[in-house]
Amino acid sequence: MAWIATGELAGAVSKSGGLGIIGAGNASPEIVEKEIDKVREITDRPFGVNVYYLSPHVEEIINLVIEKKVPVITTGAGNPGKHLAALKEAKVKIFPVVASVALAKRLERSGVDGIIAEGMECGGHIGEITTMALVPQIVDAVDIPVIAAGGIADGRGMLAAIALGAEGVQIGTRFICATECIANEAYKNEIIKAKDRDTVVTGVHGHHVRCIKNKLTKEFIKRVEAGVSIEELGELGAGKLKAAAIDGDIEMGSIMAGQISAMINDIKPVEAIIYELIEGYKKELKRVQNIF
């Protein structure tokens, strides 16, 4: 999560038993290097960097993760194929974020270590298939570990993902409302206030983004209906995640968040969030076992 998943958040997640991921977004290698160093000040446990393939700095970020011996990368918005050999030689594990069976199979053939199957309930850039439908299809299609993402914020969601065949879960929106997350309080409060139908998908085919409804999403929908060009939409969206996440502009900023926002009601430390997830998972597992 660009601007949001900084070293503070990733470090707290790894320290608490998860695998924290720094969202590199479009950031320069100098900025990402500082975030990597922050994680290492917080914990010596494994962590990862999300490499955004539309960034102008992809090559430099790949070189940086190799140089800094980052144990894991996740990749979004592109195919890491051409970097696989170098990453593998450096023993960096590669988990691309995928929204279709075909891409999951292609990436497995190219040698990635696992697949993050992301359903369209999630916040930010989304595909077309729900987590419930996508995860088991990808699990059936590949022989490498599958991590489920999209719409998971408590132990029930985690158990459901495991029941669908996932080996683990990737969680975004819930961690925005972590004490350690540097996102502006106004952004966090919008997630806490959100009800079931308060997110909306904006953009056009291939560029769909889920965020909490506000003036910006209304403007997006108006312009899409008017048939404006992708370039004009791109200009409207430029810098808007930062505007919401850092400056707290909840009217014209992009409050990217998933449908699960409605189930997030508080801001608490990462350790407490992970504890609740695991305890909720165990409790739910017992309930399920008692049914039959």
Ligand X SMILES: Cc1cc2nc3c(=O)[nH]c(=O)nc-3n(C[C@H](O)[C@H](O)[C@H](O)COP(=O)(O)O)c2cc1C
150 is an interface residue for ligand X by CB under 6 A? yes
- Candidates 35-43, 165-173, 195-203, 220-228 — which segment interacts with ligand X by CB under 6 A? 165-173
Q: How far is the CB of 152 from ligand X (least distance, A)?
A: 6
Is residue 106 within 8 Å of 96, Cβ to Cβ?
no
51 or 233, CB closer to ligand X? Answer: 51
Q: Say whether residue 50 binds ligand X (CB under 6 A).
A: yes
Please name which of 119, 124, 201, 193 lies closest in space to residue 157, comparing C-alpha atoms.
119
Contact between residue 46 and residue 15 where contact means Cβ atoms under 8 Å apart: no
The reply to whether 180 sits near ligand X by the rule CB under 6 A is no
**How far is 115 from 143, CA to CA, in rounded Å?**
10
Closest separation in Å from C-beta 291 to ligand X:
27
The answer to whether 157 contacts ligand X (rule: CB under 6 A) is no
> What part of residues 205-234 is at the interface with ligand X (CB under 6 A)?
none
Tell which one of 107, 134, 171, 178 touches ligand X (CB under 6 A): 171
Amino acid making up residue 158: M
Size of the site for ligand X (CB under 6 A): 28
Instruction: Give the separation between CA 155 and CA 282, rounded to whole angstroms.
Output: 7
Is residue 129 a contact point for ligand X (CB under 6 A)?
no
Judge whether 285 and 156 are in contact, CB under 8 Å. no
Whether the Cβ atoms of residue 153 and residue 173 lie closer than 8 Å to each other: yes
Q: Which stretch binds ligand X (CB under 6 A): 56-64, 148-156, 188-196, 222-230?
A: 148-156
Contact between 264 and 153 (Cβ < 8 Å): yes
- Looking at 85-93, 118-126, 136-144, 199-207, which segment touches ligand X (CB under 6 A)? 118-126
Question: Any contact of residue 97 with ligand X (CB under 6 A)?
Answer: yes
Q: Which of 123, 155, 203, 253 binds ligand X (CB under 6 A)?
A: 123
Tokens, residue 10 = 């990733």
Q: Does 122 engage in binding with ligand X (CB under 6 A)?
A: yes
- Looking at 56-64, 114-122, 229-237, 267-275, which segment touches ligand X (CB under 6 A)? 114-122
The phi and psi torsions of 173 (rounded to 5 degrees) equal: -55, -45
Report the amino acid identity of residue 138: I
C-beta of 230: minimal distance to ligand X in Å?
19
Q: Where are the alpha helices (DSSP H) in 46-152?
A: 58-67, 84-89, 101-110, 131-141
Using CB atoms within 10 Å of the CB of residue 30, give its burial: 0 to 12 exposed, 13 to 18 middle, 19+ buried: exposed
Which residues bind to ligand X, rule: CB under 6 A? Answer: 1-2, 4, 23, 25, 50, 52, 74, 76, 97, 118, 121-124, 149-152, 170-174, 256-258, 260
